[in-house]
A and B are shown apart, each in its own frame.
Chain A
């Protein structure tokens, strides 16, 4: 299969076998603008209860909102999994959709395939993926055209 991969940041915590303190999965449905941002809001509320640093919560909330809206705009459905670890918070978002044929291009500021209707709602600046990159410490995109896209991003916790 024609899988594309891209990643940035120094991996500190292995994806397999890490100690997970808390984990939760949220469903996101394509084209469901009515609920756009709700998964990000639920995650923010949980992280506040955990007493995480406000900057960490803000950075993860920005990344989550962008990732969630991208599923609503460009994919059919997805699961968004939050994991709270002793030294990091991270999200794994796997969607079923058309995938991203050229990840480097999609990451460019200003690149967007948003429709006129999406632009009318203030989307399509081509800033979503750059915002995720800027607000996370590790970020990985794995995408298979015609199948779907997985995003994995991590924010390290300072001790």
Chain B
């Protein structure tokens, strides 16, 4: 499924420029060492962690995009870094659980 389609279905707020991509799966975690070892290339990362080290890790393992939950917002520096890596970030007030169920309902399995 395309990131743009998902963003619309879940009413995710883009907080960076949009780089539309096909996502191959989803990984949900707030521990950086868990993300870098277990997220697959092309995954959408759902997390509350949004700082420069997470963007670095996401870029190293080719994560397609990031959804930040609980209404958290990345800093200007983090947004710029993500754009340079062409990893779009979306924000939502929903919890990780709500995002998970909505992703499933949207057809991501």
Indicate if the CB atoms of B33 and A123 lie closer than 8 Å.
yes
Q: Is the interface of B mostly helix, strand, loop or mixed?
A: helix
Residues of A within 8 A of B37 (CB): 62, 127, 131, 134-135
> When chains A and B are docked, how far (Å) is the Cα of A24 from the Cα of B53?
22
On chain A, the residues within 8 Å of B59 by CB distance are 37, 41
Q: Interface digits, B39-75 against A, CB 8 Å rule (1 contact, 0 not)?
A: 0010000010101111111011110000000000000
Smallest distance from the beta carbon of B13 to chain A beta carbons, Å? 22
Q: Pick the contact of B31 from A44, A54, A127 — CB < 8 Å?
A: A127
Chain B residues with CB under 8 Å of A12's CB are: none
Band of interface residues on A: 20 to 34
Query: Complex: how many Å from CA A125 to CA B34?
Result: 8
Kindly report which residue of chain A lies nearest to residue B33, judged by CB atoms: A127
Query: How many angstroms from the CA of A121 to the CA of B49 in the assembled complex?
Result: 7
A122 at the B interface (CB under 8 A): yes
- Number of A-B residue pairs, CB cutoff 8 Å, is 71
Chain A residues, CB < 8 A from B23? none
Given A33-B53, A41-B56, A131-B37, A123-B61 contact (CB < 8 Å) = no
B36 at the A interface (CB under 8 A): yes
- With A and B bound together, what is the CA distance between A37 and B57 in angstroms? 7
CB distance from A129 to the nearest CB of B (A): 9
Which residues from A are CB-within-8-Å of B35? 122
The count of residues in chain B whose C-beta lies closer than 8 Å to any C-beta of chain A is: 22
With both beta carbons as reference points, the residue of chain B lying nearest to A72 in the complex is identified as: B53
- A36-B34 in contact given A44-B60, A61-B60, A65-B57 (Cβ < 8 Å): no
Are B56 and A62 in contact, with the CB atoms below 8 A?
Answer: no
Contact B36 A65 (CB under 8 A): yes
A148 is an interface residue with CB less than 8 A from chain B = no
Given contacts A37-B55, A122-B35, 9 further A-B contacts (CB under 8 A): A36-B53, A37-B59, A37-B60, A54-B41, A58-B62, A122-B30, A123-B33, A127-B34, A135-B37
* Cross-chain pairs A/B with CB under 8 angstroms, 19 sampled: A33-B51, A33-B52, A33-B53, A41-B56, A58-B61, A58-B62, A61-B60, A61-B61, A62-B37, A66-B33, A121-B49, A121-B51, A123-B32, A125-B32, A125-B33, A127-B31, A131-B33, A131-B36, A135-B37
Interface residues, chain B, with chain A CB atoms under 8 Å away? 30-37, 41, 47, 49, 51-57, 59-62
